[in-house]
Chains A and B, each alone.
Chain A
C-alpha cells in the first residue's frame, strides 16, 4: 500500500492507504481525525467537507492516494491557537447554528470557504452556497444567520451573552 503524506492542520501526517481509500476514510480511520463526518454515499450531504489546498472539497469524493503532498484543513484545525472558537464557530454557537452537530463540521468548513471568496454574502448567496450541505435539524435558519453574522453583518441575536 502506498504511503501518503499530507500537511493536515499545519502538521505533516502520513498513512498507508489502499488505492480505493477515500480521503474521508483516511482522515477518520487512519489519522483518527473523527471530526470529519460521513453522512452519505452519493456525495450529496456535505458532512465530510474539508479544505484541500485551500478549496472546499467533499472528502468522500476524492482518493487519498491522489493527495500526496497536499495541504488539508479539517474542523480540528479551525479553532484559534488559544483553543477558543474562531469567528465562524463562535457565530454558530451564538446563533444556534447547530443541533445534533453531525452536519456542523462540514457546514463550518463550507462557511469558511464561502467567506474567503465572498466576505459579505447576501442571505440568498449564503443559501445558494450551502446547497451541497444538508442539515436535517436546524432548518438552516441558525446556520444562515451565523454565517451572515460571521461576515460582520447585522443579524438579530437569539442567544444570551
Chain B
C-alpha cells in the first residue's frame, strides 16, 4: 500500500483553501449583474392572509419585482420523501407545501412574499413596505393539545393535526402488550427529546440564474445533496426539465441535516431569475435560519421496559408524539418512523418491541432530520429507561446492559424491531470503556469532588445505530419515494491522474481527502494524483448526497466498485500489452504482471494506451479508461459504541460541569482516522449541547423564544471537556466492499443519554431521589429536581 491509502490519517487537502480565506461558499459567489432577494416572513404563528399588497414596495428605489403566494398557485408542492401509512392502513396526511404561503401563514417565519432589487439593502427596505393584511388565529403549539383538542387546525383541509399514527411492528403489538402485562417488573419513563435548531454556521443561501439564449437554469445553493434539489425542483415544484437545470453546491459550511432538503427560497430565486433575466441571490440572516431552517428532534415519549427480576429484558414499548411542524419537510416522515422505531431494540436480545408514533402538525417551523435523525431519540429513550430500571432493581448499569447484549457470535442478528444487524461486539466495547474511562478510579475522583462540595456522577451508554439507509427495493416497500443508492465515476486521464465524480457531497466531512485514499489504495497510486468532483449535477452521476452517515458506506462503496471495474478493464489492456491472456495477469501496487514472471507494465502506461489506442484491439476493448458504478447496499450498516461521562453537579446552583467524555465506537474499517475522530468530536459537542444547553422553545402563541445565539445556547469551547475518542474496536461491515459503517452521527447519538445518566447518578449518590431530568439539564432544572 502506498502512503495515504485506507487507514492513513492523511491531512486534509481542502484545508488549504479554507485556512487562507479561499473557500467558495454560495454567498461568496456573485455572478455579473446579480440582483438581491429578501423575504417577508410571518410574525404570527397562525394567520389567515386577507391580502398582500406589494404596490408600494415595487415603487421603492431599485426594486425589480415582488412576488406573493398568488404567483405560485400553479406550481407544484414540495413533497415529503417518504409515504407513511397509519396503523389502520390509511396513508399519512400530506398537506401542500407552497413556495410562498398562500391563504394562510402557518408558522412564525413562514415566507409570504419576496422582493428582488438591485441591492440587498433596497430589497430589505422594500420588504418593510409590503402591506400584509393577516388575521392572527389561535396557534397550535403544544403537541398533546394538538392531538387531544383539534379545535384549531394547522391545515384546515386535512381536518386533523395528526399526520399519521404509525405502529412498528403492528403485528407485534398484542404480544408486546401481553408480555408487559405478565412481566415481573416494569419500568416506565416519560421523557422529552428537546427541539434543536441545527445552526450550521453558514446560513442557507441560493442563487438562481437563467439563460434566455439556451433556456438553461442554474441554482447555486447550500445543499447537502444537489441531485435531490434538482429532482424536487424539476419533477415536483417548478417542472423545469432536469436537463435544463444544473444544481451546484459549492463549499457548504456545515449542514447536520438542515441542508438536505429543498426549501421554497430555492424555487423562488429560480422563478425570479427567469422573470427578470438576471441572477437573483438570497442569503439568510441567522434570524431567518432560526425561523425557517428545519429543526430537529422534538419528541415526547412514554417508554416501558418489562424485565425479569434479574434484569433480563422482556419487552420495550413506546408511545411517542413527534412534532413535524407546520409543513412536511422532505425527510420528516421517515425520521420519527423508520429511522427511530426500527432501532428500538437497541443493542439487546429483547424479544418484544412495539413502537407507536403519532406525527403531529403544529404552528412551528418544520422538523426534520438533524444529526442522528431518529436514532438519538431511540437511544435516549432506551438508555434512560434502562438506567432507571437498573436503579430500581439494584443492578449495576454496566451489568444490566451486558446481560442483555447481543453477543458477538449471534450475528447476523434479527432484532425484535425488524432489522438484521450484520456485525458488532458490544461486550468488547464495554470492556474497552471500563479501562479507557477508568471506572476503577471513579470512586477516588468522586471523593475528591465531594471534598470540593460537588456531587460527581458516572453515566454510561451503549448504542447501535443504522446508517446508509437501504436497500432501495426494501425501502420502496416501506414507502420511500426515492432510491437510496449512490454513484461514482472513476475517470483515469491519459497521463494516469484520476478524477472521481461522486454523488455524495462534503460539507465538512473531508471527502476530497478520504475518497482518494480508497482509489489510491486499490490502484497503488499516490492519493495526491486522485481528485474528487462533487456538488455539480452537470458533472456528477445521480447520487443521493450526504446525510445519515452514508457517504463512505454507500458512495465510498460505489467508488470502490467503479475502481474495480477500472482494474478489470485495465487488466484486459495490460494483457494485450504483455501479450498474454487476462487470466494470467495479476495486479498489485500499481503494476500489472504476468503471474510468476517479471514481465510487467505499470498502471500509467496502461492508462496512456487506453487513450492512444494505435496498437490496440479496438474490436475487443473500447478505448478510454472510465467506469461508473451505482451501489445499492444490501442492508443498513450498524455502527455501535459504548460511552462514559463523568459530571460534577454544584448542589448550590444546579450547574453541571462535564469532567470527561469517553467515546468508544465501532465504525468498521476506518479510512482516515483523523477525520473520523473529528466527526466523533463534533457529534459529541452537539450531543452535549442537546443534553445541557440547547433548547428550541416556542411560547404558547408560537413565537420562537430561542431565536438567536443570545437565547439559544450553542456549546462553546469552554462548555466542553477534552474528549477521549477511540475507534480501534473494528468489526467489519459484512456486506459492503470497504467494510465501513459510518461515523458522522455517532457522537450526537451516544452522548445525550450518557450525560443525563451521569447527572442522575450524581444526584443519586448525593442522596437525591431523582428518576429523570429532561434535557437540556439546565441549572434551574437540576436545582428544582434536588429541591422538590
Task: List residues of chain A with CB under 8 Å of any chain B CB.
Answer: 18, 20, 28-29, 33-42, 44-45, 47, 74-76, 78-79, 85, 89, 92-94, 96, 98-105, 108, 123-124, 126-128, 130-131, 133-144, 158-160
Contacts and interface: CB of A to CB of B under 8 A. Distances in A.
A28, A33, A74, A127: residue with the most chain B Cβ atoms closer than 10 Å: A127
A139 B708 contact: no
A20, A36, A99, A128: residue with the most chain B Cβ atoms closer than 10 Å: A99
Given A96-B12, A99-B510, 5 more contacts: A74-B21, A93-B19, A100-B253, A124-B718, A135-B717
A134 B722 CA distance: 17
B439 interface: no
Contacts of A74: 21
B685 A41 contact: no
A158 B677 contact: yes
A134 B682 contact: no
Contact of B11 (A93, A103, A140): A93
A144 B717 contact: yes
Given A33-B21, A138-B682, A100 B708 contact: no
Contact of B199 (A42, A126, A136): A136
A48 to B, nearest CB: 11
B10 interface: yes
B12 A137 contact: no
A127 to B, nearest CB: 4
B249 to A, nearest CB: 12
A72 B720 CA distance: 32
Interface in B626-677: 673-675, 677
B88 to A, nearest CB: 41
B709 A99 contact: no
A143 B201 CA distance: 16
A140 B717 contact: yes
A128 to B, nearest CB: 5
A93 B254 contact: no
Interface residues of B, number: 64
A123 B722 contact: yes
Given A85-B19, A96-B674, A135 B201 contact: yes
Interface string B698-729: 00000000001110001111101011000000
A78 B20 contact: yes
Nearest to B21: A35
B586 interface: no
B366 interface: no
A34 B201 contact: no
Nearest to A102: B253
A122 to B, nearest CB: 12
Contacts of B20: 35, 75-76, 78-79, 85, 89
Given A93-B16, A123-B722, A102 B201 contact: yes
Nearest to B678: A96
A159 to B, nearest CB: 5
B12 A93 contact: yes
Interface in B240-286: 251-254, 256, 285-286
B693 to A, nearest CB: 12
A138 B681 contact: yes
B722 A128 contact: no
A136 B254 contact: yes
Nearest to A138: B682
B203 interface: yes
27 contacts: A18-B121, A35-B22, A36-B21, A37-B201, A38-B203, A39-B202, A44-B709, A44-B710, A85-B20, A93-B16, A96-B677, A98-B18, A100-B507, A102-B23, A130-B718, A134-B709, A134-B714, A135-B201, A136-B200, A137-B201, A138-B681, A139-B681, A140-B720, A141-B720, A160-B4, A160-B9, A160-B674
Contacts of A18: 121
B575 interface: no
Contacts of A98: 12, 15, 18-19
A44 B708 contact: yes
Interface in B330-381: none
A41 B288 CA distance: 10
Given A89-B19, A134-B709, A138-B682, A100 B8 contact: no
B117 to A, nearest CB: 14
Contacts of B683: 139
A136 to B, nearest CB: 5
A146 to B, nearest CB: 10
Contact of A104 (B18, B28, B675): B18
Contact of B201 (A33, A85, A93, A134): A134
Nearest to B714: A134
A20 B122 CA distance: 13
Contact of A101 (B10, B508, B679, B718): B508
